[in-house]
Chains A and B, each alone.
Chain A
Amino acid sequence: MTTWFASPTDAVTRLAAEGYLADSATATTAFLAGALEKPLLVEGPAGVGKTELAKAVARATGADLVRLQCYEGLDEARALYEWNYKKQLLRIQASQGSDQEWSATHDDIFTDEFLLTRPLLTAIRREEPTVLLIDEVDKTDVEVEGLLLEVLSDFQVTIPELGTVSAVRRPFVVLTSNATRELSEAVKRRCLFLHLDYPDAEREREIVTSQVPDLEDRLAEQLVAMVGRLRELELKKAPSIAESVDWARTLLALEIRELDDKAVNDTLGVVLKHASDTDRAVRELRLRR
């Protein structure tokens, strides 16, 4: 059995070493997910580092990352396993010439050789430490949640022809969600829950400077303050950390040294993604246009 993190403090240090600056809530929950061997459901607005958390945990613990990207219409065949029909057909056709019994052929085509493992099964069958990232789980149909339940509570998968495959070693499971849909109670009950939100100014400044090391401290401070002011407005899409980092890169590329009204005005498109949001920001913050 692996211990993933020794304590919440250990989680903070080791995640920070991988460039992920976790606050105390994130570190505590990540530690608990490892210690209790429970899946971790991370919810929050887009671009605050939910997926990044899973990647950082994988890097910090030396585990490999197996990723299942969810989308509408995702089914068992894409998430769990699938039989390689084409190969099976070939096998059947090849055996037609020979005098092999049908029952032998039948047993033959439902073996490991013809099984295509998809992310969930792959993660369970791996013997090395694994971080399983189930990304944007709210995008799937409700039926897929049922599929996840067996995997998440018992870490096992039942394949009718082969029997039950149990996890050799429990993976560290991270589910992310933008909360566009309520997940079922059953899924939530099996998971630890973490709500990631926009960070405070101090932490955001650290994140931005760690991502864009060439950025001057004073400019970083101005940028973070401006992003904070934008988030206070009633916008449709408030700028996220990802957008702050983009903005920092933009300023660097344009060689802007001072974030004055004109500079903000010229580069606002990097952070705001709706025309009405831009209008509102320009009006409320008195940026001339």
Chain B
Amino acid sequence: MTGSGLLERHIAFLEALRAAGLPVSLAEDLDAVAALRALPWDERATVREGYAATLVKKSSFRPTFDTLFDLYFPRLVGEGAGHADDEGADESAPGDTGRALASFREQLLAALAEGDQETLARLAAEMVGRFGAMPGRGPGLSSWSAYTAQQRVAPSQLVDRIVAALLAQGRTDEEAQRTAGRRLGGFTKLVEDDARRRIAEEKGPDHVANVAVRPTIDRLDFLQARRTDLEEMRREIYPLARRLATRLTQEHHARRRGPLDFRRTVRASVSTGGVPLTTHHKPKRPHRTELVVLCDVSGSVANFAQFTLLLVFALRDQFQKVRAFTFIDHVHEVSHHFRPGADVADVMADLAASASHAALWGRTNYGRAFTKFTEEHGDALGPKSSLLILGDARSNYSDLALGSLKEMAATARHSWWLNPEHRRHWDTGDSAAWAYGEVVPMAECRNLAQLGEFVHDIL
């Protein structure tokens, strides 16, 4: 591998993976080299899988790995080999005139309606090459832009026609909408990938890897997630809850060894001639608390609130009882939406609808919400219950009602506050994070990973 520059490329690739947060150790590095020596080199897909098998040990890292692999080992260089074939067609129409655009959109529509991945990949490369080129920009500025290409071709305007085509294929309404959205999202990603590849060709992959690789889904900020990300996150919630629940049960069991069960031990010793080789113990009863969740559902933090509520309810078995309240400036109980076995999507819709009950005046007011809570639902808190408050503590400069919060924290056995904002934004503007944080311990919770850790710690 030496001499061809391949080793340098390999090392740079590993460095980029590490920078993107993948734990790649020296042992894995050596494995990857061994794997590459064992594999035939003529097929890119094989090399990719070989790398993936040795370097990626968690499926949530795979998208990051794929992005970086495409950067360091690009699928094609420049316009690619396939471009020579349709050179004739291109010359008759100068790149990006209105007519070329229209015909390109027709091709795109057909490919999207069919869900033809190969054609879509080709079209994405063509789209960036023709409509995303920005030649003649100053040095240091990239000459390819996925954004420009998206603006000019505007694939999102095709949604209605894709939906119509899917309906004609016998899909139902919701299904067609969802499929169309997903395919468009996928195509957008292809276009972004191709633009990244072209920029990497000009500036070197290291530069692009530093600036353009998105974090993995469990490290993505709740407050900065796009719509497609949110859907993906939502699909992560149940597996996350399941993982947490199994881990908790296992940990409880590991600590379970209670007092000696004398009868069982003696009975078991009969088969070994009265020698008690194995001892049996009585199980310990798990200790469960009641949980009261107070959740800010104003626009800015709504996503965060929904995820956290869903996770808490997915973990319902770990608590004796869970009650949830949403607020903006008024408190509204939402516990009844979380029926056992209820459908995640339905619950999300119900929660969104109930946000209107939580607002009387429409502006977030933590102080009024806390006061209302102690007045109307004060009985929910007791010495057996734990209080969990979710919100960014931005109260529009209103009265903080610290007294009410102190009263609540004093009644509850434990209390925590989860704040979806980065710690450095606390107490800027109208944030009362430190004031509230002195009464109730406040933790930063910006993504699924942090959320998972927090829930595990408090249980």
Contact = CB atoms under 8 A, between A and B. Distances in A.
A85 B273 CA distance: 11
B253 A72 contact: yes
A24 B172 contact: no
A141 B345 CA distance: 34
Contact of A182 (B25, B31, B243, B343): B243
A85 B238 CA distance: 45
A274 B59 contact: no
Given A7-B40, A276-B343, A285-B172, A28 B46 contact: yes
B126 interface: no
Interface string A183-205: 00100111111110000000000
A182 to B, nearest CB: 7
Nearest to A196: B59
A190 to B, nearest CB: 8
B431 interface: no
Interface in A73-88: 73, 85-86
Secondary structure at the B interface, as helix, strand, loop or mixed, is helix
B57 A193 contact: yes
B34 A36 contact: yes
Interface string A1-34: 0000001100000000000000011001101100
Given A24-B46, A28-B53, A280 B59 contact: no
A284 B175 contact: yes
Interface residues of B, number: 50
Contact of A236 (B39, B238, B253, B271): B238
A36 B35 contact: yes
Contact of B40 (A8, A24, A89, A192): A8
Contact of B175 (A180, A181, A232): A232
B250 interface: yes
Given A29-B49, A181-B243, A189-B25, A285 B271 contact: no
Interface residues of A, number: 47
A279 interface: yes
Contact of A28 (B28, B39, B172, B253): B39
Given A32-B39, A89-B272, A179 B239 contact: yes
A61 B271 CA distance: 43
B178 interface: yes
Interface string B405-422: 000000000000000000
B341 interface: yes
A284 B172 CA distance: 7
B35 A286 contact: no
Interface string B342-354: 1111000000000
A194 B53 contact: yes
Contacts of A43: 59
Nearest to A286: B172
Contact of B243 (A142, A179, A191): A179
Contacts of A36: 31, 34-35, 38
Contacts of A32: 35, 38-39, 50, 53-54
A141 B250 contact: yes
A29 B53 contact: yes
A104 interface: no
Contact of B246 (A181, A189, A280, A285): A181
Interface string B39-55: 11000011001101110
22 contacts: A7-B40, A24-B46, A28-B49, A29-B49, A32-B50, A138-B246, A141-B253, A180-B242, A181-B250, A182-B58, A188-B57, A189-B27, A189-B28, A192-B35, A193-B53, A193-B54, A193-B57, A232-B179, A232-B182, A236-B238, A275-B341, A285-B175
Given A24-B46, A179-B59, 18 more contacts: A28-B39, A28-B49, A28-B50, A29-B53, A32-B39, A32-B53, A35-B35, A36-B34, A36-B35, A72-B250, A86-B271, A141-B254, A181-B246, A192-B31, A193-B56, A232-B182, A234-B344, A284-B172
The 8 closest A-B pairs by CB, nearest first: A28-B49, A188-B57, A195-B59, A35-B38, A29-B53, A192-B53, A180-B246, A25-B49
